[in-house]
Structure 1
């Protein structure tokens, strides 16, 4: 009866959220099997709670990152739209480039909003990544070109010198890389 009483007490502890229980060993095979099942259940619940806590921390981090990342393209978009609105450029090529950057930033904002929506429906950040082969030099050149006007306005020289050798191809998510490198440049410019 003592092993059964201990199991009954352990079940109440589990119901109260206490997973630190210990059941005494038993020589009766059926009782020993139930004891092992209780310990397996306790370990499974413990692991599940740890994983849930990790996922919640990952969600909080990702949502705060998205909030931060929304500011960067908005800031850039506002700046270029203000330049266009105030007629600060009469050069058609520059106007076209500014409009192109505005479109890119609007696309970036749309992707961020889509990622936020998608993330609310998934269980892991890894499911958001879209890795593909990319030419790192081309990506870095595009990023520097986007931030060049902002840097020039602040009398900051922003420069990227691509390597002389062949293109460096990497496997990565171009949007996420652009977002992170853009955040670093944007923070440095501020």
Structure 2
């Protein structure tokens, strides 16, 4: 599975905080994916005419949000590095698992790439490709489980990365690299 902007943000958050915070964020992403899968399977053909005209607007909205997130993360990392506050990781956690869950649930629900992905499922199913209620339910459960396992894997990678890069310079570079990755993904989205 490719790592998108939300995945890069998840890895960076977990590297700066803890596995618990990252797991909360990962489950927020998975919940949003499960909700979109439910809407895609329940709404199907009725949603297709509504979603189709919004695809371009959603893509440009994603570009703006991704640039803003990347620039905010980079600016915050540089400011904390200069203040040497990044060295206080063990004494100050910027967010808890519950707040990370809600934040990443919101980010993923608003992430146009997620909307576009599930909109493609809706558009593909216009002809009734998944007519069986049991099959639809299994799809939703599988989408949630696949998303949860992948996002938790990314959070685990972020936790390992955080342990390896524990010094102030390591944390600064981790934040700056993740911001650069998010900007690159936003540019790719804008051009694609």
TM-score (norm 2): 0.27
Identify the structure with the greater helix proportion.
2
Select the structure with the greater relative contact order (CA < 8 A; seq sep ≥ 6): 2
TM-score (norm 1): 0.28
